[in-house]
Structure 1
Amino acid sequence: MIFQGNRHGHLTQGNELHKEQDSSDDSEDLAKTTKQEAPPSYNLGDPGTSLTKLNLDQPAAHQPPSVDQCVAHLKLLTAFANLREDISTSESLFGLSDSLAEKLTDEDKKDVLPKIREKRWQVYVSRAVDRFGVWWEKCLPSSRMLQQQDLTWDGHFDSITDSGRVINWSPDRFPPLDVLMVLHSFMLNPRAFFEDSIRQGKMDVWATGLPWAQINDCINNSSFDYVVTDEVKSNFEQITGLAWDNLHDAPSARVLCPRGHPIDCPWTDAVLGDPKRPFEQGTGYADRSFTATCAQCNLITNHEILKLQKFRRDLQFLLKDDVPMPGTILSLEGKPEKAPRPGFKRHEMFFPNRLIIAGLKILLIEVTDNTQVGTSTVKDIRDVFDRAIRDVFLVRKANDTIVSGKLFPKEKVAIRRVMSRYWDNWSPFALDLVGAVMRQGTFVEKMANIDWINSPALASTMARLIKKYETFFLIMAKYPDHVAVPTLDVDLAWHTHQLSPRRYYSYSLAKTNIFIDHDDKIEESKLSDAFKWTSRVYQKLTGGQIYSECTCWYCEAIRESHTSTTGRLFSSSDRNAQSALDQLHDNPGVSSDPNKNAHISAHNAVKSDSAATNVAAGVKAAQLQASYQKACRRAKKRGREPPNRDDYMFTYYAWGYPLFYPGIYAPYMAPVVITGDMYPCNPSYISVTQGAAGNCCQGTCSAGVAAGGSCGGSSGACVGGSAGK
């Protein structure tokens, strides 16, 4: 995951470091406080603390996560990895047998077998998300939902972060592992989780975060099995009406038809179909082409209709219960801000609510009523907003002014944010949680491969990555106009921090005055440049410490791309980096295997339909090839073996089969374990084509800004810096 955005709500690629920001003062300031030493291996060192002796008391509000919290998080990630392995390899689960590939050619079989396993996991995750919704509603404490009056100038909305009480995670609240996994992924989208906690009256959950002590007690220290008492299981089943075990739950999903009648439908009825695009035509609830017919009224329900039903519910909350629309309550900096005093400037992020009340409510009700005959889509809602913001008189009425009917920049962002909650999401939450869990699965797999949890240097490893995380946060604070990309070790600390939402919020504001989001989707073509920039800045700020402590070909190429022979002669930072790199290569605990080292964390990379994407990919491949060749020449000069580029061409992934990716594959690309064609909403894709679904009203954004919900990202930031002005 990455940080993107600035105080003005715009994203920039950050592939070049501005000269005025590249001052020696910056390097010297941090270098004075940073001990210069060669980075030791993450796999060797002093024996770590026993897993049974973790101190999981919460650190102070403005402190990073503790060593023991990171260890407990690793235990939880290992439990998730084991769960995914068990489910994905369960033969014939959900009717998905490996035998489906028996009649295929050997070449097709190698491609299809991993996808069969992925489909099993995707259906399981879809069931888990549905179960999470029930648990969230019935087992977690609730307070009054946010209302418009709370946002007034004399309200107390700006202090809502102090309103939640820490929950006692007693046995009547503790969830099964699959439900906990969904909560984990939800919290790792901190602004979305914050918004939903506020709107839905769940601030106690936000204030508490994951209960590390209880989670640690439930996970076995050797097998990493998740074990709870019979009382916990019984309480969950009695309160929710669900089985403790996901697989023992109801075999069908229940949805409501447009007239509110319940329909029980299969989770999947997908057949293999085309081996190149398997399971694309399934009509079950977890399938791409979901369709269900109501036995009582004969009306058809599909995912598009469910999105409209979600919008209708939120519209009713606004009109009847005074609850603001999603996407309208947090500032561009991600903070809760009450309305300004009457007579001063208007509350811009709240604009969509005013617009609806001023004149759109009847039109929007009509659009959502048309779901009963299946003639409306989310695009029709977009079109209603599109016409409304062009209506000068309606805009004046909404803003209670006779001066101007022109939208302010933040009002445009607010429109985009509202629409982003519905493009690919029919759940009651701010984002598609199935996609969020699937994307997190790539990070879970990386942590399992690196296997820090079984290292004798576990405690010292966690201490080092926390220190590195603090420097990474400093980079985000110093350069808010750039994209900072973490390495896997930094991302572990970052993830752990976000799982204590209130503390992460306080830390983020104390360091940057922004609630820094953990962006869940970014176009893959931007990641490598941003990673190179981050690596360069880290090296300069630390007086020559290297960022990615990995010797795979990609990390070698990145380091080579921002250093030079001249720099090594005249720059102390480059000389120190070369010395640290030499010691890294001499360390027997460091491997060139990219699956065993902490290099770029890119599990949030997504593909796009941009016509420029293939061109950019070609350019990037050529740049990396040139840097790789330089790294090879330098290795030979120093008597080392050149880095092996084939490391990324043939590798085993979570589904247990080897996959071959010649030439073009690089670790910054979208997760190869996600086969987007089989999902209702592709977790690894955003649309940036002008006018495509996911892009918003004319005059609020350029192509791709709202794709995949990106306009709900950090600081209201937009893909590629294309925010409307």
Structure 2
Amino acid sequence: MDPPRYNQVLDFIAILEQSDPAAFQSYNYSTQKEYPSIQRDKITDINSKGLPTIADVVAHLKLLKAFGALKAKVLGTSKVIKDLEPAQHKYWQVFLTNAVRRFIIFVSALRKYSCDTVSTVVREHTFHNLAKNNKFESMMSQIMPPLDVIMVWHAFLLNPKTFYDSFTRTDFIVFAKYPLPLDRIHGCINNTTFEFNVPEIYRENYSSLLQSFINDPNDLIFDPIDDLLAVRITDKQVNIYCPRCQKPLTFQSVPLTTTSETGFADPGFEAYSIEDIDEQIRNNPHFQVECICLLTPVWNHDQLRKLQLYHDVHGDTELSHAYKYFSSIISRVISIRRSPYLASSSVKSYVKNRWNNLQLNLYKEMSLVNLIKSVSSLPDEEKRLKNLLLRSYLQFNLIYFTVRGGIEIGEDLVGCVLRQERFVEKMNTTLNWLHSPFIYQTLSESLTRYGNFFHMLTSSDLKQMLVPTLDIDLMWHTHQLWNYGYFKDCLESPCHTGIDHDDTVDENKLDDGYEFTRKLYRKLFNQEYSICYCHSCIMRRSATTNKFSFWMKSGSKQMRLEEKTIVKNPLFSKDEGFSHISTHNSIKLPTSQAQMKRRKSITASSLEKDRNNSHYYYLPNSSLFVILPGVPVDSGMYALYANTLCCSIVNASSSYGNCGGLCTGGSRDGQGNSTGGSCGGSSGGGCGSSSGGGGCGGGSSSGGGCGGGGGCGGGGGGCGGGG
């Protein structure tokens, strides 16, 4: 197939200026009195789905540029020597911690304003309600959040099932159904400097909204740069509140960061409790505490996570991620036992029993991971269910503890933003699509390619993970910026289930999945999958019919060395050449099998790291992980994940719904493969294929496994499938 011919017609400014408002999905949403209905019993043609438009994608690219400009400006205020890269990354990570806190204040204030009452009884069925909350919609049309808050919102949306789970559990589904307003956001971004300038009336309305919830003047500052100038990020202090009794947990406010790295945003966070009751416990073994939080003399991240689990286990709402994995609303109903309530209640009862048998001193001293491991003597299926729901608590970054009465979001949103930065960097600098002279034509083709990819992704016959190229991943990201619209398109597809966009994928698994995706795409559409439409590749293809003559004709020895490296890569094909695989969220699990396989193979990101992505490793000696600031998965935790090269440590869901062993049907073999079933293998392990399950295999009964099927995206696929 000959490469397409390109003509320079429109730049990004002209595209946005000439686009009708109706070209934006978010504008169309704002004009509708009701939500579009979801018809799960039908299959909607791909061309009639709510896929993103060219205007949406251009506005999205412009927003990514604004994120890059914000980061450059923030680091310009840090007074950190530019050569000290780790110090800059640390400063940025602390800034993001504060940004997440500002996001939590925003959504907490919005929920308080929009909802007359906040129910502790989750009403998931309201996701299908067609009537809009007029009070909420009116407020959203009159405000514009600051750019740092939008950046957190944006990154959170790119974890669609986690986003849905969080706002379902906190009785704020209307926010989960609201699109990121790209039609209004892009108008606030300067076309040259990409600075974010919000009309004064939007700023005033935003501040008024926050004042109805919080009264600290520093929390009411709109611009994040003004916030930095008011109080340096290294001098910021926060109070920490118990989610149960809402009282302060510490004797005094704590800094976000310290030189000894014991601040709230530091891995080694440590702060003394507001009350030491050790002596009372020693004098009275039957001493009853007013609140469980009083049992902890010194707080750290692990103790906060343990308190969160205690709060959830003894609370009325379901455990975190219960709606992510077991929802019958955004996933295909495959069993009457597929219920967030049943799954959560089962695990809660086991943890409660373990807690009741613990002496006070033992509770104080036990780490969260050991507490989870100690919930033992369970049937294999129940053990997998326990691991599936409880291991997410090990990765929580509980910034909402710093906002009294704040909406309860445990997800590590700092990590969400950091994991997206590699992709943002590629879009802004390596590829710089926004300034490509061929932007209109290339995005048109990429949208067509994404339509094909989405057709593959939602096939009812898919049995393996699909890996997008960068251009397709950009479209996929843009599609997810309206959570409700994205799930509507998934539910009205042949698989009838929501497809998650996995935020943490092992690098080697990307290589394996990419080869499968490339071959399937060629088979279905008779087109090459790995043709890249970035500016440099377009110029390279148009210069010669030999895709690698650019390298061969060059006199540069470095380019010839790079060519040899590329040819050795598992993604290389003589017919297609090297493709820009989307590796921006890849991670490395610390299991022995995963480490051994990495040593034996060349991964896509290892080829790119030195050239483009040295910024990806955020702290010294952090090459294993990109999830900060808390400890993500260390050697003490990975028994909860099984010793496999599992592609996901956060989203262990296969496409037709990993039910943690609760669902039935199909046959299973010892390699973790599933035929017609929904839960994958119960023994063995490995990343076998699946049809409606499988994925990472179950692991041994002692190892925990990935929830009886796990998350390589089997049977509905994508990077993490649809669970």
TM value normalised by structure 2 = 0.68
Q: What are the superposed Cα offsets for residues 375-407 of structure 1, whole Å, 9 maximum, x if unpaired?
A: 2322244135434x35xxxxxxxxxxxxxxx84
Q: How much does 1:130 deviate?
A: 1.4
The secondary structure found in structure 1 opposite 2:588 is strand
Q: Does 1:383 align with 2:373?
A: yes
* AA partner of residue 518 (structure 1): H
The answer for the alignment partner of 2:440 in structure 1 is: 459
Q: Does 1:282 align with 2:273?
A: no
Q: Does 1:506 align with 2:488?
A: yes
Q: Does 1:599 align with 2:543?
A: no
Moved more, 600-609 or 359-368: 359-368
How far apart are the structure 1 equivalents of 2:171 and 2:89? 35
Match of 1:269 among 228, 252, 258: 258
Q: How much does 1:447 deviate?
A: 0.6
Q: Does 1:355 align with 2:338?
A: no
The answer for the alignment partner of 2:523 in structure 1 is: 540
* AA partner of residue 47 (structure 1): L
Q: How much does 1:303 deviate?
A: 0.4
Q: What are the superposed Cα offsets for residues 331-390 of structure 1, whole Å, 9 maximum, x if unpaired?
A: 5587457999xxx9544553343336656536436769769x842322244135434x35
The answer for the alignment partner of 1:51 in structure 2 is: 16
Q: How much does 1:196 deviate?
A: 1.3
What is the root-mean-square deviation in Å for CA atoms of aligned residues? 4.3
How far apart are the structure 2 equivalents of 1:208 and 1:494? 17
Match of 1:582 among 539, 545, 570: 545
Cα 1:492/1:162, change in 2 over 3 Å: farther
Cα 1:128/1:181, change in 2 over 3 Å: same
Cα 1:73/1:350, change in 2 over 3 Å: same
How far apart are the structure 1 equivalents of 2:631 and 2:517? 24
How far apart are the structure 2 equivalents of 1:368 and 1:55? 66
Give aligned-pair identity as a percent: 23
The secondary structure found in structure 2 opposite 1:438 is helix
* AA partner of residue 311 (structure 1): L
Match of 1:72 among 59, 74, 79: 59
Q: What are the superposed Cα offsets for residues 523-560 of structure 1, whole Å, 9 maximum, x if unpaired?
A: 1121112222222222232213342327999x9xxxxx
Match of 2:417 among 437, 448, 452: 437
Q: How much does 1:416 deviate?
A: 3.1
The answer for the alignment partner of 1:549 in structure 2 is: 532
The answer for the alignment partner of 1:194 in structure 2 is: 164
Q: How much does 1:584 deviate?
A: 5.6
Q: Does 1:711 align with 2:652?
A: yes
**Is 2:66–2:189's contact at 8 Å kept on the other side of the alignment?**
yes
Q: What are the superposed Cα offsets for residues 463-518 of structure 1, whole Å, 9 maximum, x if unpaired?
A: 11111111111222345221111111111110010001111101112223120000
* AA partner of residue 75 (structure 2): S
Cα 1:550/1:452, change in 2 over 3 Å: closer
Trace 1:29-44 onto structure 2 (pairs within 5 A): 38-40=3-5
Match of 1:328 among 311, 322, 325: 322
Q: How much does 1:126 deviate?
A: 1.0
Q: How much does 1:228 deviate?
A: 1.0
The answer for the alignment partner of 1:221 in structure 2 is: 191
5+ long unaligned stretches in structure 1: 1-35, 100-108, 271-280, 391-405, 556-577, 625-644, 656-670
The secondary structure found in structure 2 opposite 1:421 is helix
Cα 1:347/1:524, change in 2 over 3 Å: closer
Cα 1:470/1:706, change in 2 over 3 Å: closer
**Is 1:328–1:351's contact at 8 Å kept on the other side of the alignment?**
no
Cα 1:490/1:359, change in 2 over 3 Å: closer
The secondary structure found in structure 1 opposite 2:257 is coil
How far apart are the structure 1 equivalents of 2:503 and 2:147? 22
Q: How much does 1:412 deviate?
A: 5.6
Cα 1:472/1:338, change in 2 over 3 Å: closer
Q: What are the superposed Cα offsets for residues 28-66 of structure 1, whole Å, 9 maximum, x if unpaired?
A: xxxxxxxx652456xx63324343333343268723101
Q: Does 1:126 align with 2:97?
A: yes
Q: How much does 1:230 deviate?
A: 3.1
Cα 1:233/1:617, change in 2 over 3 Å: same
The answer for the alignment partner of 1:574 in structure 2 is: none
Q: How much does 1:257 deviate?
A: 7.0
* AA partner of residue 128 (structure 2): S
- Tell which has more relative contact order, 1 or 2 (C-alpha 8 A, sep 6+): 1
* AA partner of residue 490 (structure 1): I
The answer for the alignment partner of 1:423 in structure 2 is: 394
How far apart are the structure 2 equivalents of 1:531 and 1:685? 29
**Is 2:394–2:632's contact at 8 Å kept on the other side of the alignment?**
no
Aligned residues: 565
**Is 1:176–1:244's contact at 8 Å kept on the other side of the alignment?**
yes
The secondary structure found in structure 1 opposite 2:9 is coil
Q: How much does 1:190 deviate?
A: 0.2
Q: Does 1:693 align with 2:637?
A: yes
Trace 1:313-324 onto structure 2 (pairs within 5 A): 313-318=311-316, 323-324=317-318
**Is 1:688–1:707's contact at 8 Å kept on the other side of the alignment?**
no
5+ long unaligned stretches in structure 2: 29-35, 37-47, 278-296, 399-407, 564-577, 659-678, 680-684, 688-694, 699-707, 709-723
The secondary structure found in structure 1 opposite 2:254 is strand
The answer for the alignment partner of 1:490 in structure 2 is: 472
How far apart are the structure 1 equivalents of 2:108 and 2:101? 11
Cα 1:252/1:433, change in 2 over 3 Å: same
How far apart are the structure 2 equivalents of 1:580 and 1:684? 48
Cα 1:492/1:360, change in 2 over 3 Å: closer
The secondary structure found in structure 1 opposite 2:239 is strand
**Is 2:164–2:324's contact at 8 Å kept on the other side of the alignment?**
no
**Is 1:193–1:430's contact at 8 Å kept on the other side of the alignment?**
no
The answer for the alignment partner of 1:115 in structure 2 is: 86
Cα 1:674/1:186, change in 2 over 3 Å: farther
Q: How much does 1:255 deviate?
A: 1.6
Q: What are the superposed Cα offsets for residues 50-99 of structure 1, whole Å, 9 maximum, x if unpaired?
A: 4333334326872310110111111110000111122234342xxxx328
Q: Does 1:530 align with 2:510?
A: no
How far apart are the structure 2 equivalents of 1:63 and 1:184? 18
* AA partner of residue 165 (structure 2): E
How far apart are the structure 2 equivalents of 1:488 and 1:39? 18
Q: What are the superposed Cα offsets for residues 224-273 of structure 1, whole Å, 9 maximum, x if unpaired?
A: 11101333334434424412233156611222379744541111113xxx
How far apart are the structure 2 equivalents of 1:646 and 1:527? 12
Match of 1:722 among 690, 696, 699: 696
* AA partner of residue 537 (structure 1): L
The secondary structure found in structure 2 opposite 1:139 is helix
How far apart are the structure 2 equivalents of 1:684 and 1:580? 48
**Is 2:388–2:652's contact at 8 Å kept on the other side of the alignment?**
yes
Moved more, 677-686 or 133-142: 677-686
The answer for the alignment partner of 2:240 in structure 1 is: 255
Q: How much does 1:652 deviate?
A: 5.6
The answer for the alignment partner of 2:504 in structure 1 is: 521
How far apart are the structure 2 equivalents of 1:74 and 1:186? 17
**Is 1:420–1:706's contact at 8 Å kept on the other side of the alignment?**
no
Match of 2:590 among 609, 623, 636: 609
Q: How much does 1:710 deviate?
A: 3.3
**Is 1:605–1:684's contact at 8 Å kept on the other side of the alignment?**
no
**Is 2:301–2:630's contact at 8 Å kept on the other side of the alignment?**
no
